[in-house]
Structure 1
Amino acid sequence: MPERLAEMLLDLWTPLIILWITLPPCIYMAPMNQSQVLMSGSPLELNSLGEEQRILNRSKRGWVWNQMFVLEEFSGPEPILVGRLHTDLDPGSKKIKYILSGDGAGTIFQINDVTGDIHAIKRLDREEKAEYTLTAQAVDWETSKPLEPPSEFIIKVQDINDNAPEFLNGPYHATVPEMSILGTSVTNVTATDADDPVYGNSAKLVYSILEGQPYFSIEPETAIIKTALPNMDREAKEEYLVVIQAKDMGGHSGGLSGTTTLTVTLTDVNDNPPKFAQSLYHFSVPEDVVLGTAIGRVKANDQDIGENAQSSYDIIDGDGTALFEITSDAQAQDGIIRLRKPLDFETKKSYTLKVEAANVHIDPRFSGRGPFKDTATVKIVVEDADEPPVFSSPTYLLEVHENAALNSVIGQVTARDPDITSSPIRFSIDRHTDLERQFNINADDGKITLATPLDRELSVWHNITIIATEIRNHSQISRVPVAIKVLDVNDNAPEFASEYEAFLCENGKPGQVIQTVSAMDKDDPKNGHYFLYSLLPEMVNNPNFTIKKNEDNSLSILAKHNGFNRQKQEVYLLPIIISDSGNPPLSSTSTLTIRVCGCSNDGVVQSCNVEAYVLPIGLSMGALIAILACIILLLVIVVLFVTLRRHKNEPLIIKDDEDVRENIIRYDDEGGGEEDTEAFDIATLQNPDGINGFLPHYRRGLLGGISQDAV
């Protein structure tokens, strides 16, 4: 405690001692009651001093006489004396009055109007206001008349070290890469001191580290913080707390100080390779697992963080490189092993893989430490699963002739249970693919038989699905498509491709082709169709017509002579036998109708059976227009005739005001059977306006083309 009190007294009196030493000798050697005297342009009168003092005072003419000084923060029991005003017009008779005006006059500074002493009555703070400008004047005590012009002077507040340094922006945070070399700059800090920087050392700061050594150092003058140890490892310690001190008075004893903290974080660099957590991994997987399924995960740990810890995974060796693959999970930073191809427990029960993890981002500064990668072994055991039956073929193609007998075997499918404990298989047909139930299958051996007759001409292909089911586990089923092709047999006789009708000119020439016909066959022989044409045996010596086979498998009918006369015979029927080339061959007889017609000289048919077959070629456009006009005129006449007949028969309609029932009651002819029914149409009574006055028998006669009037 005494040491602390002594230090406080030293801090308080040191500025006063410095000020006292630096004051001019004239002020220093003067008595206290006459130590600070200000006269506005008047000589300084010190009659009570000796000649030696006057000579000494005269030698200090360089002193600024219009300034006074007062220490800040001075607090005592009495007001502090700042200075004294005096004029040599004052004979000491107390007839002169001193007046003070300006900054703080009367409130901060008070003057003794008789002696001219100026006192500071309040505590002053230089940081609040460094100087005050005041005006002094001497006046007559009785008349208040100025004895001299006013004189302006300044009172300056002298600084003392009363403000400690402050870090306005603290606490601070900074980063520096790990493994940095010695002396790497981290950051710099700045403190401020409110004391006067030009007076003494109150604002002269010196920086030091109180906590954070030996890891960091600081420049005392610039406050630049640097690393003090090389190769600091983030993985060993990531964050450091540094306490920094700023001390004024140039760091000497008695100065004031302020502190702040700096948190230094080491940022990561890729200085560590990945490392698998274990050297051997074991996984098991069922043989029926779906392709792409994740089998397991392996992880290589990396002490680095962020992108420096990113690793890529690869399968570099092993007997399962074709069946498995590994992908990198960027989020979890591990490797996912997936299935690429199907597994078969019965074929191979285990696999061994060698996987590698390597850093993605390599820092060349640390590449010399060795490969930034690691390897591990993965063993995968395949587990047996109850697999569905496996057909001997993925698809089946069967053939059957369309004339195959019912219940005949078309073909056979086979399937097996691939499991070690093999289960018997039962076969069935998916009836959704055989709605007409044309086929059956033996449930035990898979033989497919015919259930209904087949007709290739109706359907060439039949596509069914066969189901194989394990007897021990009915949920294990497999399906296979079976395509059944119906083979052709010669079961359809050939016939004309269409209904032909030939026209023979009366003036035709012998050997002239009357008609060319072709045949068709619903069958589809392998080598294509080849038809044979012939006449009936009794028609071979036909005197009128003959036939000729063409190279395109068609037949031409020719006339044997000319001079056909439609008046004698207008139609001829020519039966033709058509045979195919099947085994055995089939044949049919088709009849060609030949009609005798009148033709022009150039062989164009003009008329057959009295009716015009075609219009004459030489008919002019005018003749055609005339014929069309006649037809239109005829239609107009028919319409007028019908209209006139409608008006003529109008009385036959029953009037609305007649009693229909009365007419019926008075009609008492004896029944005549069908004649009465035809004589009277009762529909007329039901709808008297619906027939426009025409009787049924009249209407029938008109439709027949002959009216009663015509008869």
Structure 2
Amino acid sequence: MKLGKVEFCHFLQILALFLCLSGMNQAEFSRSRSKPYFQSGRTRTKRSWVWNQFFVLEEYMGTDPLYVGKLHSDVDKGDGSIKYILSGEGASSIFIIDENTGDIHATKRLDREEQAYYTLRAQALDRLTNKPVEPESEFIIKIQDINDNEPKFLDGPYTAGVPEMSPVGTSVVQVTATDADDPTYGNSARVVYSILQGQPYFSVEPKTGVIKTALPNMDREAKDQYLLVIQAKDMVGQNGGLSGTTSVTVTLTDVNDNPPRFPRRSYQYNVPESLPVASVVARIKAADADVGPNAEMEYKIVDGDGLGVFKISVDKDTQEGIITIQKELDFEAKTSYTLRIEAANMHVDPRFLSLGPFSDMTTLKIIVEDVDEPPVFTSRLYSMVVSEAAKVGTIIGTVAAHDPDASNSPVRYSIDRNTDLERYFNIDANSGVITTAKSLDRETNAVHNITVLAMESQNPAQIGRGYVAITILDINDNAPEFAMEYETTVCENAQPGQVIQKISAIDKDDPPNGHQFYFSLTTEAANNHNFTLQDNKGDVTPSLSGAVNLY
């Protein structure tokens, strides 16, 4: 198998390095050109270049130029007739050659991480004719790596999360360090990972940088965050290797591993009986060490004698149980209630059911406090009737009120005069008997709506109100009246019996079966034989009319 020019060059360089490291300081190697060199139309036998190893350690810090190697042609007899020329990358600026001896030196400090090798070309010229005595040869100066770069975590610092209670060996995050040294030469770029801070909770795989949990049952409620320091060291972690570090902040995320718990087995609240329906009686809260959805809960009243009187709901923001009134409270009817309340998680993790029920119970006792209430009437509305013919002092009816409090204070009555401006009625302050105080007229006011006040004798500020509707019964105390004043004209040629006017009457009274009027001419008019009056009897319409006829 034939090797190409570049492959063969690399082979020679590697072999030279090996021999150099084995103690051969001036071993020489030759490489023949595959093509003949033509000059002046004649074919020359091919010549050979001879040179040392061309490997240069990076980061040379000496003051003198660094010796790289020696170029030599077998044509050179050492008489000074051959001149060596160097060209290509870095020629003259970085690399110089002694034109007489072929020795190559580096004049600047080289950095493999900036440039790993340089490609140059060498020529051997006849000093007198300046003609090539060898074909131009290309060779490579490779910069030999030293361990001058520490591993770096380009993506650090890291943050990661892992569920609490995770089993040992659960992967958390992978960290990666890079080393700018040559990965193909030695161990300068071979990195291993170790954990400097974070044991015994976490570990790191030396080769991959994968961080894993190292302790079972890590509890977020005990500690929710850990700061890890991870080291990456080259030279496979051996002494003399360079290292770099990064931090990893690991947060334990919550799982629902804690049931709700009431801080107390029982609670007691005092509530005034006057508290309106829908008012908040109490707020209770079961503690849950979890957070977020894992701490969400619902409350229920599961037992007790207040099931229909109170209800409980949850405040979504605070997770409190809010107890409110559904029915009015009455100290005189019931002085206390007992509720059995349950708090339960809404989102239960089946993995932790073995820890027990994710709910808790407590007892809530509500004491109803007595409030000094105003007197209460036996009826919200009293309906009474009285004749308009009733005499002053006639009894119409009686109202009754009592103090609902345990003290049962005596009650005194009065009429709210804003509802009886004309003072038609009186009430007995002690008995509640209502009587007439003035003559009544149904035609003026058929119904009187009055308000009766009942106040406690011991505390006049406590006033109850009762409402009375008094209907006035009609009597026939009004004479009929003609509906209007009549004025009638008649033509002189009117025929006898012709109706010339119809008349009607009204009555302010209101008998149950309606009015029935009877019409007749007065004594004076009866003597006038030119006219007659016809009475339409039996018609019981509100206004009956008679007919005046021409006789």
Settle same-fold status: TM greater than 0.5: yes
Letter in structure 1 aligned against 2:536: K
Instruction: Give the one of 62, 67, 70 matched to 1:81.
Output: 67
Alignment pair present for 1:296 and 2:282: yes
Equivalences for residues 694-709 of structure 1 within 5 A: none
Equivalences for residues 250-649 of structure 1 within 5 A: 250-251=236-237, 254-367=240-353, 369-502=355-488, 504=490, 512-536=498-522, 543=529, 544-549=531-536, 551=539, 553=541, 554-557=544-547, 559=549, 561=551
Which is worse superposed, 362-371 or 78-87?
A: 362-371
Q: Flag the 1:418–1:196 CA change in 2: closer, same or farther, 3 A.
A: same
TM-score in terms of structure 1 length: 0.66
| Distance in 2 of aligned mates of 1:441 and 1:507 | 70
| Distance in 1 of aligned mates of 2:51 and 2:34 | 11
8 Å contact from structure 2 (residues 164, 253) kept in 1:
yes
| Distance in 2 of aligned mates of 1:64 and 1:517 | 160
Which is worse superposed, 99-108 or 349-358?
A: 99-108
Letter in structure 2 aligned against 1:399: V
- The structure with the largest helix share of the pair is 1
Shift of 1:560: 6.8
Name which structure has the greater RCO, CA cutoff 8 Å, separation 6+: 2
Q: Flag the 1:230–1:533 CA change in 2: closer, same or farther, 3 A.
A: farther
8 Å contact from structure 1 (residues 27, 36) kept in 2:
no
8 Å contact from structure 2 (residues 122, 136) kept in 1:
yes
Shift of 1:260: 2.3
Equivalences for residues 226-237 of structure 1 within 5 A: 226-237=212-223
For the residue of structure 2 that corresponds to 1:316, the secondary structure is strand
Q: Flag the 1:222–1:27 CA change in 2: closer, same or farther, 3 A.
A: closer
| Distance in 2 of aligned mates of 1:246 and 1:96 | 54
8 Å contact from structure 1 (residues 110, 118) kept in 2:
yes
Q: Flag the 1:22–1:294 CA change in 2: closer, same or farther, 3 A.
A: farther
Paired residue for 2:89? 103
Q: Deviations over 1:244-263 (max 9, x none)?
A: 33333445565433332322
Q: Flag the 1:25–1:406 CA change in 2: closer, same or farther, 3 A.
A: closer
Q: Flag the 1:541–1:316 CA change in 2: closer, same or farther, 3 A.
A: farther
Q: Flag the 1:40–1:472 CA change in 2: closer, same or farther, 3 A.
A: farther
Paired residue for 1:124? 110
Alignment pair present for 1:179 and 2:127: no
Paired residue for 1:90? 76
| Distance in 2 of aligned mates of 1:432 and 1:108 | 119
8 Å contact from structure 2 (residues 311, 325) kept in 1:
yes
Q: Flag the 1:182–1:42 CA change in 2: closer, same or farther, 3 A.
A: closer
Letter in structure 2 aligned against 1:559: N
8 Å contact from structure 1 (residues 84, 118) kept in 2:
yes
For the residue of structure 1 that corresponds to 2:141, the secondary structure is strand
8 Å contact from structure 1 (residues 67, 154) kept in 2:
no
Instruction: Give the one of 154, 176, 199 matched to 2:185.
Output: 199
Instruction: Give the one of 8, 12, 16 matched to 1:23.
Output: 16
| Distance in 1 of aligned mates of 2:399 and 2:63 | 125
TM-score in terms of structure 2 length: 0.83
Gaps of 5+ in 2: 1-11, 36-46
Gaps of 5+ in 1: 1-18, 44-57, 562-711
For the residue of structure 2 that corresponds to 1:345, the secondary structure is coil
| Distance in 2 of aligned mates of 1:288 and 1:156 | 98
Letter in structure 2 aligned against 1:124: L
| Distance in 2 of aligned mates of 1:30 and 1:187 | 48
Paired residue for 1:248? 234
| Distance in 2 of aligned mates of 1:127 and 1:514 | 139
8 Å contact from structure 1 (residues 196, 202) kept in 2:
yes
Letter in structure 1 aligned against 2:171: S
**Cα RMSD for the two superposed structures:** 3.6
| Distance in 2 of aligned mates of 1:252 and 1:20 | 29
Letter in structure 1 aligned against 2:260: P
Shift of 1:283: 1.2
Calculate percent identity across the aligned residue pairs.
Answer: 59
Letter in structure 2 aligned against 1:73: E
Letter in structure 2 aligned against 1:549: N
Q: Deviations over 1:473-526 (max 9, x none)?
A: 333222233323222222211222334445556555555544443332212222
Q: Deviations over 1:511-547 (max 9, x none)?
A: 5544443332212222333333344467678754141
Q: Which has the larger radius of gyration?
A: 1
Q: Deviations over 1:396-439 (max 9, x none)?
A: 33323223333444333332222223333333333333333433
Aligned residues: 525
Q: Flag the 1:263–1:308 CA change in 2: closer, same or farther, 3 A.
A: same
Q: Deviations over 1:305-349 (max 9, x none)?
A: 112112222222212222222222222222122233232222222
- The structure with the largest strand share of the pair is 2
Q: Flag the 1:486–1:188 CA change in 2: closer, same or farther, 3 A.
A: same
| Distance in 2 of aligned mates of 1:385 and 1:64 | 120
Letter in structure 2 aligned against 1:324: F
| Distance in 2 of aligned mates of 1:31 and 1:191 | 38
